[in-house]
Amino acid sequence: MSAKKGLHLTLKIWRQKNSKTKGQFETYKISDVSTDSSFLEMLDILNENLINDGKEPIAFDHDCREGICGMCSLYINGRAHGPDTGITTCQLHMRMFKDGETIVIEPWRSAAFPVIKDLMVDRSAFDRVMAAGGFISVNTSGNTLDANAIPVPKEDADKAMDAAACIGCGACVATCKNGSAMLFVGAKVSQFALLPQGRVEAKRRVLNMVKAMDEEGFGNCSNTGACEVECPKGISLENIARMNREYMAALADRG
């Protein structure tokens, strides 16, 4: 039996030294790539070839490679995380591409996500939005209730868990024509707002997180829905609507 033929590909990859320098696409050829390889494994092979040739490898983010951490954020052929749906870049396999295909690979494009180097961007803006209000406090003065003893409607619990599935990869921002972070912030607001433990700081939380989001330079939502389509965890637009309701109620309460 003959060996399985690998893919021969042309890669157009964004190279940029840092956020202060001008970047450009550079073209690379790679051969005999197994269709069973992941996209990141293909980049590993390319980097090994570059190092062997005495050239600088391509910088890209990665960590768990299990679709959990959200680090492996790449814009591939005009789509966040590539041509498949419901997956992160590390879960994308080379069988999704054809032999001889040209693949264009870019970093996230957003003013709030400046390029660190090549395909790596700084997503610490998300961390600062979370720090602005993504927490709960508990009264421990002798009357603390066990979380499992607090009744929560199953529908609310399910929606909270769905919102908490957000991994903060930034695909919603990268795919939005306005660079909006509303889906991310909506998910983080919702996962607390839907549960009784999160109601104590609910009004302060949503006001602070929306303020932080605006200060970081993210764009406004115009309800095109691209964020939901490209989100690897299928976070629903319902979370944006919920955040808007929470925000308006907090504003009204503040007067």
Give the angle subtended at the CA of 196 by the CAs of 191 and 200, to the nearest 5°.
Answer: 95
Q: Residues 123-253: name the CATH superfamily.
A: Alpha-helical ferredoxin (1.10.1060.10)
Query: What confidence tens digit (pLDDT) does each residue in 4-37 have?
Result: 679 999 999 999 999 899 999 999 999 999 999 9
User: Is domain 7-116 annotated with CATH 3.90.650.10?
Assistant: no
Which of 122, 117, 119, 121 shows the shortest CA–CA distance to 21? 117
Band of the pLDDT at 1, cuts 50, 70, 90?
A: very low
Sorted by where each begins, the domain ranges of the chain are 7-116, 123-253
| Its pTM surpasses 0.85 | yes
Query: What is the Cβ-side half-sphere exposure of residue 192, based on CA atoms within 13 angstroms?
Result: 22
Which of 157, 144, 141, 223 shows the shortest CA–CA distance to 191? 157
> Once rounded to an integer, what is the mean pLDDT over residues 110-125?
96
The mean predicted confidence, pLDDT, of the chain is 94
